Amino acid sequence: MEQQRVELANGSFLVVEPHPTWSKVEIDRDRIFDQLRISGQDPEVPFHILACVRSCCEAGIEVLRAEGLGDDLHMSSDSRWYRLMVPASYTDQAVQALAAAEQDSDFTQLVLLNRGLRAVTAKDPARLTKQGWGPWHLDASTRVLRNSSKDAYDYEVDLDQCNTSAETLDWIIQIAGKTWGDDQTVSGLVRALNDILEPQAYLCPRGQGAKLTKKAIGQLVAAAAAEE
């Protein structure tokens, strides 16, 4: 039977080879692994990304095990691909489980984050600042936003720890609580995160039509401070 190959949202491919008795269902990440190297020269994909790869595969397997397929699964994997052999009658369930686990995973969030970084740093791959970012500039080689103002002492916001809406908001709240976290600093960070991560599109997709404004983030920070 003919092989089917479908591209998922993060750029990986779902490959299905149906057979009369068994089917091969595979996640192929070969293409996007090269994109995860910001500088284009990193010899290895960072460990935290590999951990996300493993976790999203395990999530798909747990769904299938819950459907009673535990003893009938044959698995093999590498960082760049994940292959599952399932009884032909369970092909559709395997496709749905692996595709959902891949697209909803932290790994996919990291891929999208890196896309944003590449787009923002296209003109200057090492360091970048933009109008409206205040004291913040981006160092793409280490994936951090750095505040080099005198009082901040090179404070860094780690973009690899901005994989969810909650993590991103936590950084903003931390900065707002600093003695040097004035309005310009907080609003500059919000604009920088908004430009790089596009949080409405990637981190909280239900809010794609919303705008992350200084007033809105100020209300969130005030509410969080009131609860502490």
Q: What is the percentage of the chain residues whose pLDDT exceeds 90?
A: 1
pLDDT category at 47 given cuts 50, 70, 90 is low
Show the domains of the chain with their CATH numbers: 4-114 (3.30.70.260), 123-227 (no CATH)
What are 17's strand-pairing partners? 24
Across the range 56-84, mean pLDDT stands at 71
- 224 or 170, higher pLDDT: 170
Q: 78 φ, ψ to 5°?
A: -145, 170
Please determine, for residue 92, whether its predicted confidence score (pLDDT) is greater than 70: yes
Average pLDDT, the chain: 72
pLDDT at 184: 84
Are residues 25 and 16 in contact, defined by beta-carbon separation less than 8 angstroms?
A: yes
Ramachandran bin of 92, using left for φ above 0, alpha for ψ from -120 to 50, beta for the remaining angles: alpha
Residue 5 makes CB contacts below 8 A (sequence gap 6+) with 13, 14, 15, 16
Please determine, for residue 103, whether its predicted confidence score (pLDDT) is greater than 50: yes
104-146 pLDDT, tens digit per residue, is 766 676 676 666 666 655 555 545 667 778 899 887 767 788 9
Q: In the numeric block, which tokens belong to residue 154?
A: 């090179």
153-170 pLDDT, tens digit per residue, is 889 998 877 766 778 888
CB-side neighbour CA atoms (13 Å) of 67 = 17
pLDDT at 208: 44
pLDDT category at 220 given cuts 50, 70, 90 is low
- 60 or 148, higher pLDDT: 148
pLDDT category at 181 given cuts 50, 70, 90 is confident
